Chains A and B, each alone.
Chain A
Amino acid sequence: MKYYFQLQTIFWSRRFREAGFNPLFAAIFLVSIFVGASFFLFKYVDRAPYIFSGIAFFLTTLTSNKSKSDFLSSTFKDTLGKQIELAEKMLVLTPFVVFLLCKLEFILTGSLILITCTSFLMRFGFSGGKSIPTPFSKHPFEFAVGFRRLFWLLLPIYGLTCIAMMYDNYNLGVFSLLAVIAVVINFYNEVEDELFVWNFSKSVNQFLGYKIRIGLIYATSLVLPILIALLVFYLSNWWVTLAFLVVGLAFLSTYIVAKYAAFPQRINFVDGLVIMICIPLPVLLIFIFPYFYGRAKNALTVFLP
């Protein structure tokens, strides 16, 4: 395990160097950004602890994918591969946990660790070959694949909504709405083979429009129960609820175009950072979305001339 993490350190150092940064400077810079953004979030944004926890959880889901899990399981003996995966998630969680503890958010910290561990352990219970029914088969693949991968995560989130309504906690309700959108954004982490894009008899604009439209419709259908509950129980806050929904869907749209801006590669570190910066300042999406859209058009022209 130690050697694996040493290799990861080397890997990240290389990535920083390739991006033109000194690794030590980059690490200090990232820590500073994290601390600065966290303080900013907690000072100026409502429901910051929930958003903060949501971001933390979202980041832990990015550390693993099927091919990596298969590689770790086949390379390391016994359960060491799984231990490494879990350790990676905890490593990602550490700065968030430290910050939450400093803010005396003990219950949220415990819940965050518990959800991360539970989601990790449950994933193996549903990794069999039988296909899980999905309502998203008409327009594969992101939602069909993503729903099967993470449906177990949606159930406790809907549970949270029920708790929020029972205990009259609007913030928790909004958190569950945003958590569903965070899960949906994670659906778009899978990068398809070039042939899957090439196959479309659409122009680049039509293709991106189709992807965004399907994403928005399906995402809205997943948040609909939470949305209805919030609108019914907190009608006076309807505009705040809808604002959160719009911002969440704006993030989803931006993430979709960012994915295709990097296509056929995964979203790189810098692009990921740009999106992360928008979380406390969602108004920046007005500028970031066209930026990624323009890049996506360039990247896809090869496959959709």
Chain B
Amino acid sequence: MITLSNLSKSYGSKLVLKNIQLTFQSGKVYGIVGENGAGKTTLFKCIAGLENYAGTIESDLIPLKNHLGLLLTEPFYFDRITGREYLQLMCNARMVELKQVDAKNIFDLPLDQYASTYSTGMKKKLALLGILVQNNQYYIFDEPYNGVDIHSNMLITEIILKLKQLGKTVLVSSHIFSTLRDTCDEIILLKNGEIAQQVDADSFDLVENEMKKTMIGNKIEQLELK
């Protein structure tokens, strides 16, 4: 479980997150949605401890970061490091032994090629694999579906469901609402750094409608398409 209390974050005078109160239970998947700049990635970075913040973040496993797998939107790779070595690095970092790496390569990545030569989707899949082989208790997936092919999208959805089944806590952000509908127990709508809505699976339509209303509105009409 992860509990955020009065979490606020500002860059200079700009308040990016305002008094966020959230509890993430074990065995549940939470979808974080919102426009670009709503504060999703900042929220994830605060939870990971990569950003300073005001307020408190507590977890049942301490320190939280040692049990957290963080998939950021654009994973970083060195020029001359192979996929296999990247996975080794991720395991070394958490003192986990890397076993049967080829069997675990469910995305069929060319592990002996340099990771920096991978396509955007392959890079994302390698980064995802990297945090999965660490066997974390908590997972944050920031836009896991971006740039990934349809087969891998389906696989990622199944991975998230499996993690949930294993009692892990999973936070996912996505701009593809249908993927959240398939995986999440709760969806949290962030707007200007605040929680605009927090609903469970029965009320996902409410969030989707709210997003359509506020984010799309009559913008299509403004195009005057003929």
Contact = CB atoms under 8 A, between A and B. Distances in A.
Contact of A198 (B48, B79, B81, B112): B48
A77 interface: no
B212 interface: no
DSSP class of A's interface residues: helix, strand, loop or mixed? Answer: loop
Interface in A125-166: 129-132, 137-141, 144-145, 148-149
Contacts, number: 72
Interface in B64-97: 65-66, 70, 72, 76, 78-82, 84-86, 88-90, 92-95
A131 B112 contact: yes
Contacts of B146: none
Nearest to A147: B80
A131 B77 CA distance: 14
A192 B77 CA distance: 9
A33 B140 CA distance: 51
A200 B112 contact: no
B8 to A, nearest CB: 18
A196 interface: yes
Sorting the interface of chain A by its residue count into under 10, 10 to 19, 20 to 34 or 35 or more gives 20 to 34
A139 B92 contact: yes
Interface in B89-110: 89-90, 92-95
Interface of A: 66, 129-132, 137-141, 144-145, 148-149, 190, 192-196, 198-201, 302-303, 305
Interface of B: 48-50, 52, 63, 65-66, 70, 72, 76, 78-82, 84-86, 88-90, 92-95, 112-114, 117
26 contacts: A66-B79, A129-B113, A130-B113, A131-B82, A131-B112, A132-B80, A140-B81, A140-B86, A141-B81, A141-B89, A144-B80, A144-B81, A149-B79, A149-B80, A190-B78, A192-B76, A195-B72, A198-B48, A198-B50, A198-B70, A199-B93, A201-B94, A302-B52, A303-B49, A303-B50, A305-B63
